[in-house]
Amino acid sequence: MAAMMEDEVFKVFTTHATIVLVKILLMGPLTAVFRFSRGAFANEEDVAGKPAEERKKLLRTHPDVERVRRCHQNDLETAVPFVLLGLLYTLTGPQLPSAQLHFRLFTAARLFHSVAYVLALPQPCRALAWLLGMGVNFSMAYRVLQVLVL
């Protein structure tokens, strides 16, 4: 492991993977902030101490809460492949500038995607960020397969 941590490509990968994973971890608390600020809870136990009439009002969905939840779900659908493919990609021995480009583009795309999603920026902002992230994942997958097959 110590030898891997000295590899520049692996360092860049772990830095960006950590940023992306921490961003995903922050989506849970952000969802909670939106639930409390919008008064929209999903489970009975979340409103257990409230009067019955108030519980009925609080057990509901809210568009803003659902927007954050969908953003979080989208993160999971794209970041998990990024971490796995990125790790495999680093094992192919890519040139540092190429690896940096892949990792930076994905990280920037995911950060912008979240901002565009949560703030409801007009399309195609979110779609372009998603496409960029997917393009990076497919590019890394292609490199891994290219090295294995050729």
| CA–CA gap between residue 120 and residue 117 (Å, rounded) | 5
E strand or H helix at 70: helix 63-91
Q: Is the pLDDT of residue 2 over 60?
A: no
The overall pTM is greater than 0.75: yes
In 3-state terms the chain splits into helix, strand, coil percentages (rounded to 5) of 85, 0, 15
Q: What is the pLDDT of residue 27?
A: 96
Q: What is the pLDDT of residue 56?
A: 81
CATH 3.10.310.10 is the classification of domain 2-149: no
Query: Distance between alpha carbon 64 and the CA centroid of its chain, in Å?
Result: 18
Residues 6+ positions from 44 with CB-CB distance below 8 Å: 55, 59
Peptide bond into 124 cis (omega under 30): yes
pLDDT digits (tens, 9 = 90+) for 80-127: 999 999 999 999 999 999 999 999 999 999 999 999 999 999 999 999
Q: What is the pLDDT of residue 5?
A: 62
| Domain ranges (residues) in the chain | 2-149
pLDDT digits (tens, 9 = 90+) for 25-80: 999 999 999 999 999 998 989 888 888 888 888 988 999 999 999 999 999 999 99
Q: What is the pLDDT of residue 63?
A: 95
